[in-house]
């Protein structure tokens, strides 16, 4: 939620430079944006509603500057207006801040400042930051004032601050991600690495409750104690092109197609590591799988996979609901957090709850160095590479692959699991060809004007039906719902009318007969049956073939739905990479 980025160095076009970096973070928020740059005695401020990628460098030029900070917003407090867009400033625009997260005690701080005569120009929680720093600047220098102010903010935040004429960027983190990039005599600080990946691979991670002062070096401090903290430089090995679209029209389709490789990468783990974690699962007194949105649906799929493969029960709870389950946690419990970004606030809160109860935490994350990665007892990286489209695709299937591998390892059959997943990866490679995509595009053309559609599945495909509905909703904006096939007759079947598209997820095995019967029930009420299945069945009006890969079927069954969602979005003239109202990384509760 919200991307923030600052630059300090010899380049003279700091404002444009920050804007360029922010375009790489736009997936984090895209309803408005802004930049502040140092002009010596005051700061230049430029804010706009809309997407930062619409910025035209020919039309809007900025004066020379070597220090700037900027923000791409996903609104939380206050509507989408220029006044609410960041950066926010003190009254004479000599101090500017950008903020990601929520200042939970902003009401109380605002009251205190209003009583002192401060006038607020926005409806945001963030503006208090600029005014509070200003207040402290009356009796101390900017660096000290910023440090004092940061101590007072409650909630999750990442903040960047600068002052006119002071060659310094101050960046503070409590809960929301912040990473420093070290260039050649220049410094970057951003909520995610792609903002500066073109310029350096040397990074330093801010941990929670830390602040960094960037001037002629990097100086880290603990926010609460004010004491200096030692940090090390980490070399990351991301390729620049993996964070770019290349020849694809959108990141979403690029990332769907990458699934030809990403399953291989996900399962390419040290056997000893997988076995060690499997042992932790086996000896745990209750295993809880936690995730939000798509990651939550992955957890549900894993519940079925663990039951089938390892004959083991795992509990599934969505991140935001997990605190209500804490009474079940014991020291010997294991919490497995599943997350692409490793920064989702609800999942992080679940981890905090687990840690308070002294339970062990395993994270399955894509973003290495993310908060979850660093705050867990164990961590498995799915190695899918940067996922930029808001709708998760390649991370989803990689998470399912790793959890399948763990289930096999729990049953002492790790190599069998690997063989199955390698075979599945090969079949995905065969499947993702242009003819396949055309077949799905043709279906999208057929159903694009429908107002509602449904997805049904049984057992592990029930979890995939729920995930399919998320994919369709978020990028096509068609009302879509997923159900367990058997549940339809208990109510939802009333929603089926003549021609209503209903996707039926089928895999061979003991669930096939039941789910096909459910499909017949829908067809008898006029539903248009789209079958995702290894073979064509008489009940299907439109068949999408998927390979028969046994228990790995959730991986192959979701891919055609990802493609369908993408093509529906494009046909309906939606931007699949940046769906309305959403953000890639949900760092607020």
Give residues in contact with ligand F6R (CB under 6 A).
Answer: 292-295, 339-341, 344, 347, 391-392, 470, 474, 585-586
Distance, in Å, from the CA atom of 303 to the CA atom of 297, rounded to the nearest integer, reads 10
C-alpha torsion sign, points 219, 587, 26, 96:
negative
Residue 549 region, left (φ>0) first, then alpha (ψ -120 to 50), else beta? alpha
Q: Which of 2, 137, 299, 502 is catalytic?
A: 2
Least distance between ligand F6R and beta carbon 347 (Å): 5
Q: Are 317 and 272 in contact (CB under 8 A)?
A: no
For the bound state, the minimum distance from the C-beta of residue 296 to ligand F6R, rounded and expressed in Å, comes to 7
Of all residues in the shown chain, the one whose CB is closest to ligand F6R is 293
Pairing of the two strands 3-8 and 378-381: unpaired
Give the pairing of strands 155-163 and 169-174.
Answer: antiparallel
Residue with smaller CB distance to ligand F6R, 308 or 567:
567
Which residue in 577, 262, 286, 584 sits closest to 425, CA to CA? 262
* CB of residue 392 to ligand F6R, shortest distance in Å: 3
CB-nearer residue toward ligand F6R: 72 or 366 = 366
Q: How far is the CB of 498 from ligand F6R (least distance, A)?
A: 31
Token pair for 306: 């663990």
By C-beta, is 343 or 411 nearer to ligand F6R?
343
Pairing of strands 542-545, 501-505: unpaired
Active site includes 137?
no
Ramachandran class of 32: left when φ > 0, alpha when ψ lies in -120 to 50, beta otherwise? beta
What is the secondary structure of 362-393 as a DSSP string?
Answer: EEEESSTTSHHHHHSSEEEE-------SSS--
Residue with Cβ nearer ligand F6R (431 or 470): 470
> Quick one: 170 or 318, whose CB is closer to ligand F6R?
318
Q: Which of 463, 475, 459, 469 is nearest to 509 (CA)?
A: 459
Q: At its nearest, how many Å lie between ligand F6R and the CB of residue 371?
A: 11
CB atoms under 10 Å from CB of 302, counted, come to 29
2 is catalytic: yes
Q: How far is the CB of 133 from ligand F6R (least distance, A)?
A: 31
Q: Which of 110, 360, 427, 584 is catalytic?
A: 584
In the bound state with ligand F6R, the residue whose beta carbon lies nearer, of 87 and 175, is 175
Residues with a catalytic annotation lie at: 2, 584
């Amino acid at each position: 939620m919200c991307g923030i980025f600052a630059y300090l160095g010899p380049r003279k076009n700091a404002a444009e430079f920050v804007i360029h970096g922010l375009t790489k973070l736009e997936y984090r928020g895209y309803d408005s944006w802004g930049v502040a740059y140092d002009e010596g005695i005051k700061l230049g401020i430029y804010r706009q509603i809309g997407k930062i990628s619409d910025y035209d460098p020919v039309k809007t030029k900025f004066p020379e500057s070597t220090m700037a900070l900027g923000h791409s917003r996903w609104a939380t407090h206050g509507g989408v207006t220029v006044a609410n867009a960041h950066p926010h400033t003190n009254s004479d625009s000599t101090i500017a801040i950008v903020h990601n997260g929520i200042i939970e005690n902003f009401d109380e701080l605002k009251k205190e400042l209003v009583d002192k005569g401060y006038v607020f120009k926005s409806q945001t929680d963030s503006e208090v930051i600029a005014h509070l720093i200003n207040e402290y600047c009356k009796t101390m220098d900017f660096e000290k004032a910023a440090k004092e102010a940061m101590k007072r903010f409650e909630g999750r935040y990442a903040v960047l601050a600068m002052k006119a004429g002071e060659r310094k960027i101050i960046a503070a983190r409590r809960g929301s991600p912040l990473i420093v990039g070290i260039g050649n005599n220049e410094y970057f600080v951003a909520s995610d690495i792609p903002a500066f990946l073109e310029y350096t691979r040397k990074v330093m991670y801010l941990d929670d409750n830390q602040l960094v002062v960037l001037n002629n070096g990097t100086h880290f401090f603990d926010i609460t104690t004010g004491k200096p903290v030692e940090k090390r430089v980490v070399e990351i090995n991301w390729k620049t092109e993996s964070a770019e679209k290349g020849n694809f029209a959108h990141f979403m389709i690029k990332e769907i197609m990458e699934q030809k490789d990403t399953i291989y990468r996900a399962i390419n783990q040290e056997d000893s590591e997988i076995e060690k974690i499997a042992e932790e699962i086996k000896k745990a007194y209750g295993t809880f799988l936690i995730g939000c949105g798509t990651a939550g649906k992955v957890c549900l799929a894993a519940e079925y996979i663990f039951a089938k493969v390892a004959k083991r029960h795992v509990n599934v709870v969505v991140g935001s609901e997990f605190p209500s389950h804490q009474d079940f946690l014991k020291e010997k419990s294991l919490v497995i957090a599943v997350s692409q970004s490793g920064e989702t606030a609800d999942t992080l809160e679940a981890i905090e709850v687990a840690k308070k109860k002294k339970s062990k935490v395993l994270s399955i994350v894509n973003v290495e160095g993310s908060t979850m990665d660093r705050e867990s007892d164990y961590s498995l990286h799915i190695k899918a590479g940067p996922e930029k489209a808001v709708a998760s695709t390649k991370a989803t299937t990689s998470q399912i692959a790793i959890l399948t591998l763990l289930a096999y390892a729990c049953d002492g059959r790790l190599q069998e699991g690997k063989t199955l997943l390698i075979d599945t990866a090969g079949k995905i490679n065969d499947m993702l060809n242009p003819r396949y995509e055309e077949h799905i595009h043709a279906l999208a053309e057929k159903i694009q004007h429908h107002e509602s559609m449904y997805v049904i599945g049984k057992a592990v495909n029930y979890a995939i039906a729920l995930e399919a509905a998320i994919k369709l909703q978020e990028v096509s904006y068609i009302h879509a719902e997923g159900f367990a096939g058997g549940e339809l007759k208990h109510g939802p079947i009333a929603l089926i009318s003549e021609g209503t598209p209903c996707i039926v997820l089928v895999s061979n095995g003991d669930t096939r007969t039941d789910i096909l019967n459910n499909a017949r029930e829908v067809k008898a009420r006029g539903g248009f049956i789209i079958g995702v299945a290894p073979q064509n069945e008489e009940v299907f009006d439109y068949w999408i073939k998927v390979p028969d890969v046994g228990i790995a079927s959730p991986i192959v069954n979701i891919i055609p739905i990802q493609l369908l969602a993408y093509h529906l979005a494009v046909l309906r003239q939606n931007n699949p990479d940046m769906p309305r109202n959403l953000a890639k990384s949900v760092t607020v509760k």
